[in-house]
Amino acid sequence: MTRLPAQITEQVSQAFSVIERYLASTLQAIHLFGSAIEGGLKPHSDIDLLVTVHTPPDETVRRALLSELLTVSAPPGSNGTWRPLEVTVVAYHEVVPWRYPARRELQFGEWLRQDLLSGIFEPAVPDADLAILLTMARQRSIALAGPTADALFQPVPGQDFSKALSDTLTLWNSPPDWAGDERNVVLALARIWYSAATGRIAPKDVAAAWVLERSPTGYKPLLHSARQAYLGHNEDNLAAYADQTTAFILFAKSMIVDLLDAPQA
């Protein structure tokens, strides 16, 4: 049985308590997935939680839950012992039977901190990324409450998984879309490339190593630098190489599109 990493036990316990406080009457399951159990936590890894409820929370509960999650999450690079949380809440009947795109009820992440502090709360929305998220949870996760993810959720069909990868690519079209987030976008594209080619999901460093072996020589230093920064072995300096970063992102997108457009065997 996969164990909860000791370094995040206290933070996960406090996050669990916050979620349970607001959603106890409708809570069906909580799953920990992502880097915490797939490839190991890295210096910049989030703690990923998938929360499943029977009934969507009302607006009062949504706002209160999102606001209190701020107290059990830490901004990236804050140099404390706590990590950023990423919490996604779905209603069971919105994802089972599976449909694409499925709806998420709410999502918490550190990128939303300033909006939440300003009283800006995103409504429930269709989210193509749930096809990837549920696939990850079914592939490997820890049930903190409720049944295992592979027992609770149906498999996401291959065509929907591929469609989610394709839809994600539309986020990055020109340099303003990745300014200040160059490393994460480069590594996200490496994961999408890996998934488009293999149908599987790998940790960012594993996917980046896989892409390194398949990339033209000119892109290898950039990929290596992004991977090393993710692993905590060097500083994140991709912003200083704007032209090379842009060239790689556009190249990777074209390679991924070709893979996704190729006839399926």
pLDDT per residue as tens digits for the range 133-173: 999 999 999 999 999 999 999 999 999 999 999 999 999 99
- Whether residues 52 and 132 share a domain: the answer is yes
Q: Is residue 87 part of a domain?
A: yes
- DSSP assignment of 185-251: HHHHHHHHHHHHHHS----HHHHHHHHHTTS-GGGHHHHHHHHHHHTTSS---GGG-HHHHHHHHHH
pLDDT tens, 105-134?
A: 999 999 999 999 999 999 999 999 999 999
- Whether residues 204 and 85 share a domain: the answer is no
Confidence of residue 22 (pLDDT cuts 50, 70, 90): very high
- Whether residues 166 and 119 share a domain: the answer is no
**265 pLDDT above the threshold of 70:** no
- Whether residues 188 and 150 share a domain: the answer is no
Query: 256 by DSSP, 3-state: which?
Result: helix
Q: Is residue 251 part of a domain?
A: yes
pLDDT tens, 188-215?
A: 999 999 999 999 999 999 999 999 999 9
Q: Which pLDDT score is estimated for 4?
A: 85
Greatest Cα pair distance in the chain: 55
pTM: 0.91
Cα torsion through 223, 228, 230, 236, rounded to 10 = -80
Q: Which residues are catalytic?
A: 86
Q: Which pLDDT score is estimated for 42?
A: 84
Q: Is residue 90 part of a domain?
A: yes
- What letter does residue 80 receive in the DSSP assignment? S
Nearest to 136 by CA among 208, 49, 210: 49
- Whether residues 144 and 79 share a domain: the answer is yes
**100 pLDDT above the threshold of 70:** yes
Token readout for 210 is 């896989």
- Whether residues 77 and 164 share a domain: the answer is no
- DSSP assignment of 103-148: EESEEEEGGGHHHHHTT--PPPEE-TTHHHHHHHHHHSEEEEESS-
Mean per-residue pLDDT of the chain: 94
- Whether residues 145 and 178 share a domain: the answer is no
Beta strands 47-53 and 85-91, pairing class: parallel
Q: Which pLDDT score is estimated for 79?
A: 67
- Whether residues 115 and 171 share a domain: the answer is no
Q: Is residue 81 within a helix (H) or strand (E), and if so which, with residue range?
A: none
- Whether residues 253 and 184 share a domain: the answer is yes
Give the span between the Cα atoms of 215 and 218, in whole angstroms: 8
Question: Given 155, 184, 216, which residue is the final one in a domain?
Answer: 155
Give the span between the Cα atoms of 165 and 179, in whole angstroms: 21
Confidence of residue 224 (pLDDT cuts 50, 70, 90): very high
Mean pLDDT lowest among 57-61, 161-165, 219-223, 235-239: 235-239
Q: Could you tell me the residue range of the domain that residue 223 belongs to? A: 160-261
CB atoms within 10 A of CB 57: 22
- What letter does residue 153 receive in the DSSP assignment? S
Q: Is residue 1 part of a domain?
A: no
- Whether residues 60 and 190 share a domain: the answer is no
**217 pLDDT above the threshold of 60:** yes
Mean pLDDT lowest among 23-27, 42-46, 249-253: 42-46
Question: Given 120, 155, 190, which residue is the final one in a domain?
Answer: 155
**81 pLDDT above the threshold of 90:** no
Compute CA distances 244 → 81, 120, 173, 192, 254, whole Å: 34, 36, 15, 19, 15
